[in-house]
Amino acid sequence: MSAFGTLETPVGVIGVESDGAAITRVTWRSTAPEGSVIAADPGADPLLAEALAQLRAYFDGALQRFDVSVDLGVQTTAARAVLLALQETVAHGETVTYGGLAARSGTAVPARGIGSIMGANPVPLIVPCHRVVAGDGLGGYSGGDTGRGLETKRWLLEHEGALPTSLF
């Protein structure tokens, strides 16, 4: 059984799921997935409490790198390599293109395939898929509240200093 907790952020309510050994999901939702128990006291699952505290610190501008255990779930070898390359080589305040991430990962995944892997990332923010951009703009983003993906991506990149703050 997994535990689920939420955090109100400037980009919506973030839901975090823990199996006690690793963070298994980060989503923009305030209701627990089927089979999860809403943690009335996130402290009952120390990992969940730590993940929520680190996310709070990130949004407060006090944390630049997450250090909680994550479980990427079932992934192909190439997808896992891409997600790990992203987590390990693209720092707070930096961006990388889809093609650049493909090269960093050492896989033969084409840039378009990198986009699909980013869209399937089970732990966005912690594995920072918002830092992956197109060569000619922001690219896509499936995080955020429904219909607000690119707005969320822009906010996250501005928050990290990777983009100048928008005037409107």
Tell me, yes or no, if 129 is annotated catalytic. yes
- Any idea which residue has 């961006």 for tokens? 95
Both 106 and 139 in a single domain? yes
**CATH, residue 108:** 1.10.10.10
Instruction: Provide the pLDDT for residue 36.
Output: 66
Instruction: Provide the pLDDT for residue 157.
Output: 97
Torsion sign (Cα): 122, 93, 115, 149 = positive
What is the crossing angle of helices 111-119 and 77-89, to 10°? 80
Both 82 and 138 in a single domain? yes
* Among candidate residues 67, 105, 68, the one with its CA nearest the CA of residue 89: 105
Residue type, 29: R
Instruction: Provide the pLDDT for residue 78.
Output: 96
The total of structural domains in the chain comes to: 2
Domain range for 39 is 2-59
> Is there a domain that residue 71 lies in?
no
Instruction: Provide the pLDDT for residue 41.
Output: 64
* Among candidate residues 68, 56, 63, the one with its CA nearest the CA of residue 25: 68
**CATH, residue 53:** 3.30.160
Per DSSP (E only), the strands in 63-136 are: 96-97, 132-133
> Is there a domain that residue 49 lies in?
yes
> Is there a domain that residue 29 lies in?
yes
Instruction: Provide the pLDDT for residue 165.
Output: 77
pLDDT averaged over 10-residue windows placed end to end, the chain, 168 residues? 90 94 92 65 84 98 97 96 97 96 94 94 97 92 90 96 78
Q: Which of 14, 117, 123, 129 is labelled catalytic?
A: 129
